[in-house]
Amino acid sequence: MEEHIRSILMALGENPDREGLKRTPARVAEAFTFLTRGYRMDPEKVINDALFTEEYEEMIVQKDIDFFSLCEHHLLPFFGKAHVAYIPRHKIVGVSKLARLVDVYARRLQVQERLTNQIATTIMEKLDPLGAAVVIEAEHLCMRMRGVEKQNSLIITSALLGAFRNRQETRSEFMNLIRQKN
């Protein structure tokens, strides 16, 4: 990876041997490895370590989960907050696991739409809940720094599965809960 980054620096018209850039290929390779660590994480292991049987069938919401990702189209960051909910069917998951699941998928080259679906689908597959919901609000630096250069635009995506898709009152309850200020 370092040699490719060195080539990119040269293609930009830079001298990769100058003092400020000598270690840049190594630093960039290390940064990309860190920022894409989700490829080396197994969502099943993240969840299965903390599945518990519990007679609870009410909505569980974790909101305002900060995340960072890289746009697969430009390799520029997008970041924001994820709101995740599920209605258990006798299985609950440890509270930190929903945030970790967001990280598993966010720390890959992504588009926000796929990220949203992957989180919701994994919850449905691994927890077998009555429903799962994910809303992601994100700012994309590819929109701010290049192209249309819109500084205050926010992209919102949602994935509503099971009871969240089929029952308007469940969907409304979730949306109201994530809109509430702390």
Domain ranges, residue 75: 45-179
In a domain, 40, yes or no: no
Instruction: Please answer whether residues 64 and 83 qualify as being in contact, where contact means their C-beta atoms are separated by less than 8 angstroms.
Output: yes
- Which CATH number goes with the domain that contains 59? 3.30.1130.10
Instruction: Return the minimum-mean-pLDDT range out of 38-42, 43-47, 71-75.
Output: 43-47
- Give the catalytic positions in this structure: 71-74, 112, 140, 142
The mean pLDDT of 124-138, rounded to a whole number, is 97
- CB-based burial label for 8 (10 Å; 0-12, 13-18, 19+): middle
Question: Looking at the 3D structure of the chain, how many domains does it have?
Answer: 2
Q: What digits encode the pLDDT tens for the residues 72-115?
A: 999 999 999 999 999 999 899 998 999 999 999 999 999 999 99
Instruction: Return the minimum-mean-pLDDT range out of 113-122, 137-146, 161-170.
Output: 137-146
CA distance 107 to 32: 10
- Whether the full predicted model's pTM is greater than 0.85, yes or no, is yes
As a residue count, the chain comes to 182
Are residues 80 and 126 both part of a single domain? yes
In a domain, 15, yes or no: yes
Q: What 3-state class would DSSP assign to 45?
A: helix
Q: What digits encode the pLDDT tens for the residues 139-162?
A: 999 888 887 777 788 999 999 999
In a domain, 65, yes or no: yes
Q: What contacts 3, CB < 8 A, 6 or more positions away?
A: 25
Statement: residue 28 has pLDDT above 90 = yes
CA distance 137 to 154: 7
